[in-house]
Structure 1
Amino acid sequence: MAEEISCKASTPRRLSHETSGHFPTWSLETLLQRLRSLNTKQDDKLAHILDVVGEFGTFQRRLVALTFIPISLSAFFIFVDHFVFTAQKPYCNTSWILAVGPNLSEAEQLNLTLPREPNGSFLTCLMYLPVNWNLDSIIHFGLNDTVSCQDGWIYPDAQERSLINEFDLVCDKEFSWNIVQAILWSGILIGSIIFGFLSDRLGRYPCILLSLLGLIIFGFGTAFVKSFRQYLFFRFGVSQAVTGYLISSVSLASEWLGGEHRAHAIILENCFFTVGLMFLTGLAYSLHHWRLLFLVGGAPTFPLIAYIWILPESPRWLMMKGKTEEAKKVLRYAAYVNKKTIPVSLLNKLHLSSKKVTEASVLDFYSNNYLRKFVLVMVCVWFAIGYNYCLLSTQRRDFSTSIYFTTLIPSIMKLPARLGCIFLLEQVGRKRSLIFTFFQGSLLCFISLLIHPGKDAGLALNWPSSPQRSLCLTTELKSMYTLLVMLGEFSLIASFTVLLAYSTELLPTVLRSTGLGLVTLALAAGVIMCLTFISHDQNFLPSFLCCFSATLALLLCNLLPETRNQPLFDSLEHLPTLKKSLSLEMTDDLTSDDMTEVAKNTFLNATMENFNSDSISSMRQTYEDTVSQAEEAAD
């Protein structure tokens, strides 16, 4: 028996196969991962206190609920552009003829003063040159010389007051929808950098308040702009505020919650983002003036001022910054709300020595092996999701005549997509859920590009679409194509929800918001690149980049670790090393010269006899004692 144990000790890498009678499904690497997880949990005194406070008590439920209203308003401000650029049919203002013919009807005025296209419709950007004739001469001889519109435009068929007829965004002033969206996403890109840095430097609480102030100024204030350039500036500002709030609120909620409650809170926040989009659709359908839409939709931002007094700071962030007393204060308040009592002895153990208060910076994403690997992988995945989803959403708008329909139906579909992520994360895990949903969404996106009904017309994906192209489609092809696009969006929304929870758990507390800002930057870059290709009517590049980015992202996803039932990392010291795997690390310990053969046999024998799901802590102690004995023997 002693020889058998000695043999097994000399070949630790084959331990899981030779001891299948004791633990048939557990490898040494799995054992070591659980051992390290146990070490992290035991060293994390704050996690013990949060367990005493309550995993999801009244305080945590209230905290999650507080994020719902701003999240819904964020959806309102991000997608409101779709409803304020209502298509209009303008004509040149030719009221000059009313001076000589005040009794002319509108139809007679247009017939006398506007040239026609070959199909018989009036031209939008040209008018006949005004003359000093009487009405009879104008009717008898007609007008021939044309000029561009001199006195603005009129919108005889306009039912709504939109930005187009407010600022005359027609003819030489005509706007590009893709440019408007690019400016919005540029604000998201800049905001992800600024607020990601500020949230880790100043704290989650002040950045949330700063973001809410931005929603009030740039969101509600958009209703009072005086020009289209001012409108674009305010849209750029509100997109930064929305990004700052999303990053800071996700970090705050995840650091107050543990286990699956953390993922559930992030998923619920995403669901209320969808609810906000549905609220926007109903409000835009009821209100037919763009300024009134911003006034009513932005009014709920003012009660958010109360967050100054009711929103807590993250205790994990406070601890990492050495603000132990403030962390204890918010923990006592949370326990009071949950009607719990934190033992004084446990609270007194919550301290951080000055040498552990380390300053982290964005440069650590380059110098730290774990962070560098994580960021490179997640940047690729976030970029691919942003690019592919933008492609699908743009294609969906190619085949609808009602903006309310194309906004409401996908919003309703997003709710089950996000809620279904709860089951996936609990049963499948983060990594497999991400790979499954992203692969499905990317495949559907690529197939939809291949069978795009407008491919013969140059794959023009611009929004709004050409009605002539839509009319020439067969009903079967259009129905199949629309179904593919909708299912692709469904899958990509699910992968985005999983990815947000996954990214939050992979990042350490000291750089969590900065990391979320970096990956959000990649998401915005993907959307902007998609809009750039679409605006230039590219034929090959959209399909190629869709396939290439998705394939690369899926391959890199295999490099990510699983985070289900794992504790959050707080500092850079808690991050795992990538220089060698955990199994090789323990193997080096077992085969080192400093460790005697008796010590190796003792550890392996204790492992085989005592290893089960309830005895990891005793195994850890056995291992530590064994190492101590080995060191004494070496001395």
Structure 2
Amino acid sequence: MKEEQNSNLSFGPEASRSTHQHETSLPSHSWSLEMLLRRLRAIEVKRDDKLASVLDAVGEFGTFQWRLVALTFIPYVLLSFFMFSDSFVLTSQRPYCNTSWILKVGPNLSVAEQLNLTLPRAPNGSFLTCLMYIPVPWDLDSIVHFGLNYTETCRYGWIYPYAKRRSLINEFDLVCGNEPNKENMQTVFLAGVLTGSLFFGFLSDKIGRYPVFLMSMAGLLVFGFGTAFVNTFYQYLFFRFTAAQAAVGYVISSVSLVMEWLVDEHRAHAIILQHCFLALGIIFLSGAATRVFHWRLVFLLAGAPMFPIISNIWVVRESPRWLMVKGKVDKVKKVLCYAAEVNKMDIPLNLLNELQVSGKKVKKVSILDFYTNQHLLKVVLVMACVWFVISYIYFTMNLKLKDCGIETYLRQIIPGILEVPARLYCILLLENLGRKCSLFVNLILSTISCFFLLFLPQELKSTKLLMLVLGHFNMAASVTVLFIYTCELLPTVLRSTGLGMVSLASSAGAITALAVYNHIKTQLPIFFCCLSCIVALCFSSLVPETGNQPFRDSIEYSSSNQRESIDSKRKSQDVAPEMLTEESMSDIRIDQVAKNTILNAMPLTFAVDQVAKDTIFNEMPLKSEESGFSDTDLKEPSNAGEEPSPDP
């Protein structure tokens, strides 16, 4: 029996030589089979995830998922208005002292004549903006004949006779020593992101994704839309700080909610689309903010669509995974049945009955588990370092656009235009390379761009601009890959808290980039970018690959996950015999022709190690007998639609 089977499969020295020839001529087959083996390993893990089976029965991407995605993605366009509008509402205006006192003696004076009589001039002939002549009780003819000689600072405020738009500058007279520092304003916003990420991340794991989702949308509506009605500049800063907290809370809760409702590759596609919508929002902001005549209209345009969006919040349901880890099985069944009803699908009753809490009591977790659990501690520290590095490089490259003479409008719209193809480019990378390799590729390309920027002379501004554009493109792709990677590495029970903690590192990286750029005017910031890219590459190699793996719900999986990463070679070889079992074939739902294709492709992978190959296929008859396969099953069938006959 064994000899006949081995002869049918054509294993031996001659087959080995032919196998090596096929490997040389068709290397892509080995890569494709490796991807298939990885997906089969994911299926084996998914078999124990009862909730994933129910989600498959609900429908991978039906009407319910479409409504969920649409309702959570549209606010991302508006989110860019709340997050990046500071550069457009702080347009510079040329102020002059308010000298309307002279109109009492000369009511028919034009603006030019008024300025000429009441304002001193600079050596170049222009009017001084922060000084005025001291008013005198003379008539107009005396003022014109003798002129005014003594100056003082602006006593009655300022006027902006040549301003075309109403900005914060001329709204709150932020001139002549009262000018706001744009970097400090960005720091205030980033401080809001920093505090909001930790608070809302913890709250999302504590009370649920859906309540935090509602709270953050309400916060954007109140403090984002309400920014248009502030009366002082300090009120504006407070509303921006609070809107930043709501914005990061919305990002964390919506990401967790969407990814835990979707399955397989739809999760990665959802994050990519979210980031594409955010980039489109930056483009819309750049176009709208330069055309509106009043800064308050920017926030009115962003806040008005929030009313119809929040009125349709009833179509969203709580994450079933979060409900499951909290032991709320009845609510899990209720939300799953609602989703299945919307998708017009039926969930088998036996699948719903299998949804039970593992263990007698739900284990409580806290933020301290990131310290006591070694695997979680390693994951959070590694990903926080990578988030810090990518945020630092991203903001440094954006700030470096100033050195190339790019105005504010282009500094916003160029990254926005680049980020849409950068996010879509991630789909191709993730499907072919996985999470870790995709991150490696983008970081390596960013390192190359930084090295070019470091050594290019100042005269080659166009070449430096090209390198900045390419570096920004790779950084945008890195952000998307890292977001997906981080969500999949963290367990459901602490996913939002972990996202909040890495967002702290991201905010710290942005603040560091602002501080370094403002205090160091040499090439040191770019040198730090090169060094940081290398550090990020080293750190990202310490975490395991997560592509096509189901979500982990609890923190107890960490030790087994570490063993899997250590024994990955041995486990990849163990998958080959399992591919021949009828149960594996039914899980991946392929027909008999696909089975024979896998069998024909197997020598391409296992011919590298002759000893390992002989060991595997000497054990194959035993596996076949247990599965119900015979030697005739391993031959190519005459009719692909016929089922293999059992071994007599």
Q: Same fold judged by TM-score > 0.5?
A: yes
Residue 193 (structure 2) aligns with = 188
Residue 243 (structure 1) aligns with = 248
* One of 540, 543, 563 as aligned partner of 1:560: 543
Query: How does 1:205-284 map onto structure 2 within 5 Å?
Result: 205-284=210-289
Post-superposition offset of 1:353: 4.0
Helix, strand or coil for the counterpart of 1:119?
coil
Say if 1:379 and 1:522, in contact at 8 Å, map to a contact too: yes
Judging changes above 3 Å, is the alpha-carbon distance between structure 1 residues 31 and 99 closer, same or farther for their aligned structure 2 residues? closer
Judging changes above 3 Å, is the alpha-carbon distance between structure 1 residues 610 and 417 closer, same or farther for their aligned structure 2 residues? farther
Judging changes above 3 Å, is the alpha-carbon distance between structure 1 residues 452 and 221 closer, same or farther for their aligned structure 2 residues? farther
> Mind listing any 5+ residue stretches in structure 1 that lack a counterpart?
3-16, 454-473, 588-602, 620-635
Q: Do structure 1's residue 51 and structure 2's residue 34 form an aligned pair?
A: no
Residue 40 (structure 1) aligns with = 45
Residue 345 (structure 2) aligns with = 340
**CA distance in structure 2 between the aligned counterparts of 1:562 and 1:296, rounded to whole angstroms:** 42
Judging changes above 3 Å, is the alpha-carbon distance between structure 1 residues 544 and 380 closer, same or farther for their aligned structure 2 residues? same
**CA distance in structure 1 between the aligned counterparts of 2:617 and 2:226, rounded to whole angstroms:** 68
Say if 1:162 and 1:290, in contact at 8 Å, map to a contact too: yes
Say if 2:71 and 2:309, in contact at 8 Å, map to a contact too: no
Post-superposition offset of 1:571: 0.5
* One of 116, 128, 134 as aligned partner of 1:123: 128
**CA distance in structure 2 between the aligned counterparts of 1:119 and 1:315, rounded to whole angstroms:** 70
Moved more, 206-215 or 545-554: 545-554
Query: How does 1:516-555 map onto structure 2 within 5 Å?
Result: 516-539=499-522, 541-555=524-538
Say if 1:369 and 1:578, in contact at 8 Å, map to a contact too: no
Residue 328 (structure 1) aligns with = 333
Q: Deviations over 1:494-552 (max 9, x none)?
A: 11011111111111100111111111111111111111223334536523432332221
Q: Deviations over 1:581-627 (max 9, x none)?
A: 6556999xxxxxxxxxxxxxxx9999544669x99x979xxxxxxxx
Helix, strand or coil for the counterpart of 2:556?
helix
**CA distance in structure 2 between the aligned counterparts of 1:306 and 1:102, rounded to whole angstroms:** 54
Judging changes above 3 Å, is the alpha-carbon distance between structure 1 residues 557 and 85 closer, same or farther for their aligned structure 2 residues? same
Identity of counterpart residues, as a percentage? 56
Q: Deviations over 1:50-107 (max 9, x none)?
A: 1111222222222111112111111111011121111111111111222222232222
Q: Do structure 1's residue 510 and structure 2's residue 496 form an aligned pair?
A: no
Residue 89 (structure 2) aligns with = 84
TM-score (norm 1): 0.82
Residue 460 (structure 1) aligns with = none
Number of residue pairs matched? 561
Post-superposition offset of 1:281: 2.1
* One of 455, 477, 483 as aligned partner of 1:494: 477
Say if 1:259 and 1:567, in contact at 8 Å, map to a contact too: yes
Post-superposition offset of 1:370: 1.4
Residue 75 (structure 1) aligns with = 80
* One of 85, 95, 105 as aligned partner of 2:100: 95
Root-mean-square deviation over aligned CA pairs: 3.1
Q: Deviations over 1:295-318 (max 9, x none)?
A: 122101112222441111110000
Judging changes above 3 Å, is the alpha-carbon distance between structure 1 residues 247 and 611 closer, same or farther for their aligned structure 2 residues? farther
Judging changes above 3 Å, is the alpha-carbon distance between structure 1 residues 489 and 429 closer, same or farther for their aligned structure 2 residues? same
Residue 598 (structure 2) aligns with = none
**CA distance in structure 2 between the aligned counterparts of 1:450 and 1:582, rounded to whole angstroms:** 39
Moved more, 425-434 or 124-133: 124-133
Say if 1:315 and 1:327, in contact at 8 Å, map to a contact too: yes
Residue 304 (structure 1) aligns with = 309
Moved more, 282-291 or 521-530: 282-291
**CA distance in structure 1 between the aligned counterparts of 2:293 and 2:497, rounded to whole angstroms:** 40
Post-superposition offset of 1:404: 3.1
Residue 143 (structure 1) aligns with = 148
> Mind listing any 5+ residue stretches in structure 2 that lack a counterpart?
3-15, 24-29, 571-611, 629-648
Say if 1:209 and 1:307, in contact at 8 Å, map to a contact too: no
Judging changes above 3 Å, is the alpha-carbon distance between structure 1 residues 120 and 55 closer, same or farther for their aligned structure 2 residues? same
Say if 2:258 and 2:270, in contact at 8 Å, map to a contact too: yes
**CA distance in structure 1 between the aligned counterparts of 2:124 and 2:453, rounded to whole angstroms:** 34
**CA distance in structure 1 between the aligned counterparts of 2:627 and 2:229, rounded to whole angstroms:** 67
Helix, strand or coil for the counterpart of 1:313?
coil
Query: How does 1:170-181 map onto structure 2 within 5 Å?
Result: 170-181=175-186
**CA distance in structure 2 between the aligned counterparts of 1:390 and 1:117, rounded to whole angstroms:** 38
**CA distance in structure 1 between the aligned counterparts of 2:264 and 2:502, rounded to whole angstroms:** 23
TM-score (norm 2): 0.81
Post-superposition offset of 1:578: 7.1
Query: How does 1:262-411 map onto structure 2 within 5 Å?
Result: 262-355=267-360, 357-400=362-405, 402-411=407-416
Helix, strand or coil for the counterpart of 1:143?
coil
Residue 6 (structure 1) aligns with = none
**CA distance in structure 1 between the aligned counterparts of 2:170 and 2:485, rounded to whole angstroms:** 45
Say if 1:212 and 1:304, in contact at 8 Å, map to a contact too: no
Post-superposition offset of 1:112: 2.0
Query: How does 1:10-49 map onto structure 2 within 5 Å?
Result: 37=42, 40-49=45-54
Judging changes above 3 Å, is the alpha-carbon distance between structure 1 residues 32 and 451 closer, same or farther for their aligned structure 2 residues? closer
Q: Deviations over 1:206-263 (max 9, x none)?
A: 0000000001110100011000000000000111111011111111111111211110
Judging changes above 3 Å, is the alpha-carbon distance between structure 1 residues 199 and 103 closer, same or farther for their aligned structure 2 residues? same
Judging changes above 3 Å, is the alpha-carbon distance between structure 1 residues 583 and 520 closer, same or farther for their aligned structure 2 residues? closer
Task: Tell me which amino acid in the other structure corresponds to 1:513.
Answer: S
Residue 576 (structure 2) aligns with = none
Judging changes above 3 Å, is the alpha-carbon distance between structure 1 residues 446 and 517 closer, same or farther for their aligned structure 2 residues? farther
Moved more, 382-391 or 128-137: 128-137
Q: Do structure 1's residue 430 and structure 2's residue 435 form an aligned pair?
A: yes
Task: Tell me which amino acid in the other structure corresponds to 2:256.
Answer: S
